[in-house]
Amino acid sequence: MIEEKIFERDDKNYLPVFKRYKIVLERGDGVYLYDINGKKYLDFLAGIAVNVLGHNYPPLVKKISEQAAKIIHVSNLYYTQPQADAAAKLVKLSGLDRAFFANSGAEANEGAIKIARKFAKKFSPEKIQIITAWDSFHGRTLATLTATGQPHYQEGLEPLPAGFDYVHFNDADELAEKISDKTCAVMLEPIQGEGGVYPPKNDYLKKVRDLCDKHNALLIFDEIQSGIGRSGKFFAYEKFGVKPDIVTLAKGLAGGVPIGAFCVTEEVAQAFKPGDHGTTFGGNPLACAAANVVLDTVPDEKFLAHVEAVGKYFKEKLFGLQKKYPEKILDVRGEGLILGVELKKSGAEIVNECLKRGAIINCTVGKVLRFIPPLIIEPAHVDELIKILDEVLGE
């Protein structure tokens, strides 16, 4: 069987850092994926919050094909229209002043950390502390895995970059104790994703903003997962009425083409002079052409209202499951289409059973089912998933 050969080849040759599910995905259409045997799967993972417009979205396919036929890459030594357009759109949407494109989330965060450090040096050589949250996730480069408040991502990689400290998300008092004039930046996901889908409570983010202002520290929001319309607003921070000095994006930004970005205020932007940062691939015309399709689609009021409405419908259905299975489900939480179901036990078996029944879902931190589907899902897709989940939970 071709499938067995692919497993064997990949298992033998690919770096063994992923525990993979035993299916070979071949193509996609809207909210569905198909493996090489033609089996159909309902996709409630979207390549980890990436395929915001679903799979094989015709305007995106068309744009990428057209751009590839024109030019894929030119380096950042020259101007291209797709990049100029994408930067202008991000600046307008973020309310910040300048954008930079990288190739991934980790790289976007790495750039944000670098510019924050450089900016703070203007005030004092000791202003180097970067405070992040426990259970956060910011990436896999040395600086971003140090920013990530989960020690298991750091073990064995020491020495780690210096200057990072951690606080508990949603605890403004703890931040008030840790922050000082030596703090260069506070970096948070407005809604924690990987760490278990934790939205901010009450006016936590406002308090964080005030503390940053008090100590002249920059506020960096990592919207790599919560951004691009996922919360029901283009940036989740709009939902909570708090504006950062730096915001980072990636995942859904180009609908599946690798990209990352950070946006900054003009004042912060001036900390970097020509030569202080760079990238070969980042913001190339192919990635930016794809990003432009996303940036022309997702921020639309009707599109975002759809995310909000389907998200609300989905969350209600998940509450329904909690009511039916209180011995299994501890909590349902999230915003828009980043929803989490905290289980009392490990969720691995539920994910496997859903896969057998043709639904792709994810479990993070062992027992939180995390739903981050394409933003184009309809209530009927939610019903389809809930039916499967109901069956699996009922066993």
List contacts with ligand PLP (CB under 6 A). Answer: 104-106, 109, 137-139, 189, 193-194, 222, 224-225, 250-251
Q: How far apart are CA 65 and CA 354, in angstroms?
A: 34
Nearest distance from residue 233's CB to ligand PLP, in Å? 16
Which three-class secondary structure state does DSSP give residue 351?
helix
Nearest distance from residue 388's CB to ligand PLP, in Å? 25
Nearest distance from residue 316's CB to ligand PLP, in Å? 25
Closest residue by beta carbon to ligand PLP? 105
Neighbours of 294 (CB within 10 A): 26
Neighbours of 180 (CB within 10 A): 13
Nearest distance from residue 198's CB to ligand PLP, in Å? 12
Which DSSP symbol is given to 252? G
Q: Peptide bond preceding 161: is omega within 30 degrees of 0, i.e. cis?
A: no
Nearest to ligand PLP of 106, 388 (CB atom): 106
Q: At what angle do helices 348-356 and 379-394 cross, to 10 degrees?
A: 120
Which H or E run contains 130? strand 129-133
Nearest to ligand PLP of 250, 264 (CB atom): 250
Q: How many helices (H) and strands (E) does the chain have?
A: 14, 15
Nearest to ligand PLP of 48, 128 (CB atom): 48
Nearest distance from residue 109's CB to ligand PLP, in Å? 6
Nearest distance from residue 238's CB to ligand PLP, in Å? 17
Sheet holding 32-35, edge to edge: 25-29, 32-35, 40-43, 359-360
Nearest to ligand PLP of 198, 314 (CB atom): 198
Q: How far apart are CA 99 and CA 91, in angstroms?
A: 6
Q: How far apart are CA 208 and CA 49, in angstroms?
A: 26
Nearest to ligand PLP of 118, 140 (CB atom): 140
Which DSSP symbol is given to 152? G
Nearest to ligand PLP of 106, 186 (CB atom): 106
Nearest distance from residue 86's CB to ligand PLP, in Å? 17
Which three-class secondary structure state does DSSP give residue 364?
strand
Nearest to ligand PLP of 127, 189 (CB atom): 189
